[in-house]
Structure 1
Amino acid sequence: MTKGGNVAKAAVLALVLVAGTVVRADAAQCGNGPGGFETWKQQFGEEARAKGIGASAIGALMQTNYASATIAADRSQRSFGLSLDQFLAKRGAAGIVARGRAMKQSHAALFASIEQRYGVPPGPLIAIWGMETAFGSQRGNQHMLSSIATLAYDCRRPEFFTDQLYAALKLIDRGQLSPSQRGSMHGEVGQTQFMPKTILNYGTGNLDNAANALMSTANFLHANGWRSGAGYQPGEPNFAAIEAWNAAGVYQKAIALMGRQIDGGGSAAER
């Protein structure tokens, strides 16, 4: 490559480290603390406006605050490093299974309808519902947009959360999410804790409604390869769809195990 070509390439790909901040020539600057967040918001807002995000969503972004609690939670996800037995005990698996079996009976018509449409049996859906929000009772009380904006600004995983932030802004533009929506530490919302991009792709209504959330979860699993009637334990065809739901191996195995127990395939103490 010519010297001029090297210079041009360097200009396009410029990455400069300044006081712990990564500066890109073509994007808002990420950071590792609250100091640059307000400047980043202005830069990101201009980029979002140029990509067609509306004034109401941009205005909502400008009202966000740096979410220190979200950053602390993002740095301390220790439970995914536990053994399966430890993880199941910490998450209260026996209680989820017991209550899940009762939920399967009391919502039998809903789960039959979901399985007929998407091919997903009640067990793994109920296990996800219980694991994510204790059947809707613990949906989080963080300001969703502030959490996602903070993580999009943070240098640890800006690409992933930038996509989530754009999705959240689109949902606000469309009136599908409120700018004041509350959620969990990473911006998850609803009964089964969907991220904004997942809502855009698979959501089937208001996810604070249990039926909508369960149908949306089944839609996600179906879209990620779930085959009606196939097994969903590790090594079986539908386990890959559970892997798509959450990247943590111990979480995946827990969902598969609890799902089987809820569907009638063993006791809550079985491993």
Structure 2
Amino acid sequence: MKKNRVFSSAAFAIVTLLFGLNSQANAAQCGNGPGGFETWKQQFAGEARAKGIGGAGIAALQQTNYASATINADRSLHSFKLSLDQFLAKRGAPAIVSRGRSMKQRNAALFASIQQRYGVPPGPLIAIWGMETGFGSQRGNQNMLSSIATLAYDCRRPEYFTDQLYAALKLIDRGTLSGSQRGSMHGEIGQTQFLPKTMLEYGVGNLESASGALTSTANFLKAHGWRAGAGYQPGEPNFAAIEEWNAAQVYQKAIALMGRQIDGGE
């Protein structure tokens, strides 16, 4: 009996291993060029259906195309390697600060409401707004879903963008987004450039409007530990929330510096 039990356990392990290998073989496989994208799309659609993505999301996925411009942009992220001074100059920090102070005065009631609810002062929100889209003027003209699907297929960061793709498909199923939504090179949308998963978790209102985008950004920062009244420069408590917004250190420091200048500091 003991021998039979050992054999049965071994047989079960082999069957489990073979099942796992078969599942992996049937999973959507990443690629490094456009050649396998259509096959990947069909495989991914099957996985998406199994995870509960509905007809609208699947139909939108089927209309996506391989986004070569997105891949080219993803391979050319050089500005985050600049020094802080170089980065500020390249991004036009003085102009952002100058216009940001004007935007703060012009939208005083909105920023007061946001600060009262979320504890986030205008400076860092305006710095993010100016840095991301030039205060809403440059939101990108790429097909959002094609960009994200391409990055989910690409072998460089498939896990990260697969999560973004599922979030986008859920938002399409809900009617919050459409398959024709335009965005930036990596699929960011709205006036402060939310990726779909971030939008799903922290979006408040219409991200294409200034009020919706700024409120959503404040909601994100609060959810990542922002404390009302605490400082947000490097080494101060709220800088950690800015770090969660963007992983590039030079970007984080630029937001903190410009935010302080907009809020009235030097």
- For 2:264 and 2:167, how far apart are their aligned partners in 1? 38
Q: Which residue of 2 aligns with 1:209?
A: 209
Return 5+ residue gaps in structure 1 as ranges. Answer: 16-22, 267-271
Task: Indicate how the Cα distance of structure 1 residues 92 and 27 shifts in structure 2: closer, same or farther if over 3 A, else same.
Answer: same
Q: Which has the higher helix share?
A: 2
Q: How do 1:1-271 and structure 2 match up within 5 A?
A: 7=14, 11=18, 14=21, 24-25=24-25, 27-266=27-266
Structure 1 outlier segments of 4+, above 4 Å: 2-10, 12-15
**TM-score, normalised via structure 1 length:** 0.91
Instruction: Confirm or deny: 8 A CA contact 2:152 2:165 kept in the other structure.
Output: yes
Shift in Å, 1:11: 3.8
SS in 2 for 1:212: helix
Give the letter for the 2:158 counterpart. P
Note the C-alpha offset of 1:51. 1.0
Aligned-pair identity in percent equals: 78
Q: Distance in 1 between matches of 2:131 and 2:13?
A: 51
Is the CA contact (8 Å cut-off) linking 1:124 and 1:258 kept in structure 2?
A: yes
Which whole-Å CA distance do the structure 1 matches of 2:18 and 2:123 have between them? 53
Deviation at 1:181, TM superposition (A): 0.2
Alpha-carbon deviations, 1:7-53, whole Å to 9, x = none?
A: 567546649xxxxxxx9336211101000000000010011111111
* 2:26–2:43 contact (8 Å) kept in structure 1: no
- What amino acid maps onto 2:261 in structure 1? Q
Task: Give 1:180 deviation, angstroms.
Answer: 0.3
The alpha-carbon deviation at position 206 of structure 1 amounts to 1.2
1:177 aligned counterpart, secondary structure: coil
- Structure 2 unaligned runs (5+)? 1-8
CA distance in 1 between partners of 2:46 and 2:67 (Å): 21
Instruction: Give the number of equivalent residue pairs.
Output: 258
* Structure whose alpha-carbon radius of gyration is higher: 2
Give the TM-score normalised by structure 2. Answer: 0.93
